[in-house]
């Protein structure tokens, strides 16, 4: 199921890219990742920027204002995502201009460029600073599109259970060609200038906390096995939060994992919370929800989201979905669909993450 959603996202991306063949700055935004928001959420970046305790506290206040919009933007069409994230990135940059030092601003820009890999060469300001000519720009855009297209074709074939050996080779070759683009396309002078632009190397691929602060639970009186809870009051605990509907067959496949986590981690400051958002008419009946929870021996706290207010606040899109929230209230991972769909090992992935968070 996860692959299906990745495929849809890439299909939307390429339907738009068909109309973007020019290499002029600003016309290929869909090829360039937007990583700034994820970077500023990472504690390792805070250390690298030498943010003070006060600056980190102020940043967290800002995150509380913007993270809900950032997380909900993930379900928007690609072009709308770009616009929404750009507005939030602007707020972050404005904060650094007011509250950060010149050195912090410069280093943040360097880290952002490094996080883009070779796609940094598609950024308009980088093209300008390196004085790339139109031929170079066309080559770089072409390499990026070829890599994305090869990966899309590989994903499509994988979804259809087709033979992918040739497509894997094509995708690997396309990505390798793009990775070599700085040496293949740039002049020695441009390569030297590029090294100056990105500064001292920093491994952005190893950052652990790159997702938003989890949206707060929308209050409701309909709780099972618990009085109403908030994520704020659960700070200091790892939270495993899942959306379900009790008549959803795919949800049934995950129930035993939720109960197992509840029993396994009950003494480790881990809380499992279910959110029942109805799909069928029967699921709109709180008494039926309670009866189903009792029948399934779901003994952990459950919020009955009759009006879909929590579903909307999280921009959730499917049953089931599982979110892992760390002790500071930040989303660290989420899984859509059955945890063991077609041989998937989502249960192990999430269990390993929870164990890792307990040790942090």
Report pLDDT digits (tens) over 111-134: 999 999 999 999 999 999 999 999
pLDDT bin (cut points 50, 70, 90) of residue 26 is very low
Instruction: Work out the average pLDDT over 58-73.
Output: 97
* 357 exposure class (CB count in 10 Å sphere: 0-12, 13-18, 19+): buried
Whole-number pLDDT of residue 25: 37
23 Cβ partners below 8 Å, 6+ apart? 134, 137, 138, 140, 141
Q: Cα(300)–Cα(274) distance, rounded to whole angstroms?
A: 8
Q: Cα(310)–Cα(276) distance, rounded to whole angstroms?
A: 10
Whole-number pLDDT of residue 268: 87
- Using DSSP's 3-state secondary structure scheme, residue 47 falls into helix
| Per-residue pLDDT at 22 exceeds 60 | no
Q: Cα(357)–Cα(360) distance, rounded to whole angstroms?
A: 5
User: Are the C-beta atoms of residues 270 and 261 closer than 8 Å to each other?
Assistant: yes
User: Are the C-beta atoms of residues 195 and 311 closer than 8 Å to each other?
Assistant: no
DSSP 251: H
**Least confident span in 2-6, 172-176, 330-334:** 2-6
pLDDT bin (cut points 50, 70, 90) of residue 30 is confident
At residue 300, φ and ψ (nearest 5 deg) are: -90, 170
| Per-residue pLDDT at 9 exceeds 90 | no
| Per-residue pLDDT at 1 exceeds 70 | no
Whole-number pLDDT of residue 21: 34
| Per-residue pLDDT at 89 exceeds 50 | yes
| Per-residue pLDDT at 13 exceeds 80 | no
The CA angle 80-83-85, to the nearest 5 degrees, is: 105
Give pLDDT tens digits for 133-150. 999 999 999 999 999 999
Q: What is the mean pLDDT of the chain?
A: 91
pLDDT bin (cut points 50, 70, 90) of residue 28 is confident
Give pLDDT tens digits for 243-281. 999 999 999 999 999 999 999 998 889 999 999 999 999
DSSP 308: -
Instruction: Work out the average pLDDT over 74-86.
Output: 94
């Amino acid at each position: 199921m996860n692959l299906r959603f990745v495929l849809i996202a890439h299909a939307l991306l390429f339907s738009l890219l068909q109309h973007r063949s020019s290499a002029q700055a600003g016309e290929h935004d869909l090829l360039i990742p937007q990583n700034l928001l994820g970077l500023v959420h990472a504690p390792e970046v805070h250390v690298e920027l030498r943010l003070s305790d006060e600056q980190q506290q102020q940043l967290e206040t800002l995150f509380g204002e913007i993270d809900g919009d950032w997380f909900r933007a993930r379900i928007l069409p690609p072009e709308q995502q770009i616009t929404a994230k750009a507005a939030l990135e602007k707020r972050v940059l404005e904060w650094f201009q007011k509250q950060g030092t010149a050195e912090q601003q410069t280093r943040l820009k360097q880290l952002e460029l490094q996080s883009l890999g070779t796609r940094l060469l598609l950024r308009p300001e980088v093209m300008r600073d390196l004085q790339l000519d139109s031929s170079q720009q066309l080559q770089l855009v072409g390499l990026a599109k070829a890599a994305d297209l090869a990966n899309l074709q590989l994903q499509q074939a994988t979804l259809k259970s087709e033979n992918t050996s040739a497509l894997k080779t094509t995708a690997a070759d396309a990505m390798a060609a793009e990775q070599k683009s700085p040496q293949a396309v740039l002049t020695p002078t441009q390569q030297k200038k590029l090294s100056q632009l990105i500064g001292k190397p920093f491994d952005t691929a190893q950052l652990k906390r790159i997702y938003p602060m989890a949206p707060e639970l929308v209050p409701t009186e309909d709780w099972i096995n618990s009085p109403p809870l908030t994520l704020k009051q659960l700070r200091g605990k790892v939270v495993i939060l899942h959306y379900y509907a009790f008549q959803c067959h795919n949800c049934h496949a995950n129930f035993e994992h939720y109960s197992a986590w509840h029993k396994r981690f009950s003494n480790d400051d881990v809380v499992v919370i279910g959110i029942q958002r109805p799909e069928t008419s029967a699921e709109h009946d709180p008494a039926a929800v309670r009866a189903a929870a009792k029948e399934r021996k779901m003994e952990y706290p459950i919020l009955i989201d009759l009006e879909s207010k929590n579903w909307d606040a999280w921009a959730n899109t499917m049953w089931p979905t599982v979110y892992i929230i760390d002790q500071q209230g930040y989303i660290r991972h989420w899984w859509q669909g059955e945890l063991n769909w077609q041989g998937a090992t989502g249960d192990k992935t999430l269990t390993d993450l929870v164990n890792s968070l307990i040790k942090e």
